[in-house]
Amino acid sequence: MINRVVLVGNMANDPELKYTASGVAVANFRVAVNRSRPNQQGEREADFISIVAWRQNAEFAANYLNKGRLVAIEGRIQVRSWQTQDGQRRTTTEVVADRVQGLGRRQEGDRAPEPSGEEPGGQGAEGAGGADEAAPMPDDPFPE
């Protein structure tokens, strides 16, 4: 079985960086990916895809990427369910990033200069993120 995703799109929001209780970095953000064909009205549409990045990928995203930046994401699709405090069942689909890479030129307002050399490789892990209400975040599902 194969669960592999490669996305190229624009950052739909600035990454939100958090740390688990054990100090592991996790960043959540969304990427807007244009559909290949226009709709019936001739307009282009985009899908907004939730991304979860862990460890170095999370810190890279938080330090070097911001809304509007063209990015490439490699990872896997993950579907998670949880129960809210008021008893409602929630489900989210997200991409857990194994690799996060900035593409194109930096835009005015980017937070930091481009890093020199190779951008950090990924270490995938189960993650947080979600739609309306944040899903519970595991402390560190894949300890180093």
Q: Which CATH architecture has domain 1-144?
A: Beta Barrel (2.40)
Q: 10: pLDDT confidence band, cut at 50, 70 and 90?
A: very high
Enumerate the domain spans of the chain: 1-144
**pLDDT at site 142:** 44
Q: Which residues make Cβ contacts (< 8 Å) with residue 103, sequence separation at least 6? A: 8, 69, 70, 71, 72
Rounded to an integer, the average pLDDT of 8-32 is 96
**Amino acid letter at 70?**
L
Residues of the chain above pLDDT 70, percent: 72
**pLDDT at site 46:** 93
Is the predicted pLDDT of residue 24 greater than 50, yes or no? yes
Minimum mean pLDDT among 21-25, 69-73, 115-119: which range? 115-119
pTM above 0.75, yes or no: no
Sign of CA dihedral 2, 33, 12, 92: negative
Distance CA 73, CA 12 (A): 13
Distance CA 49, CA 75 (A): 12
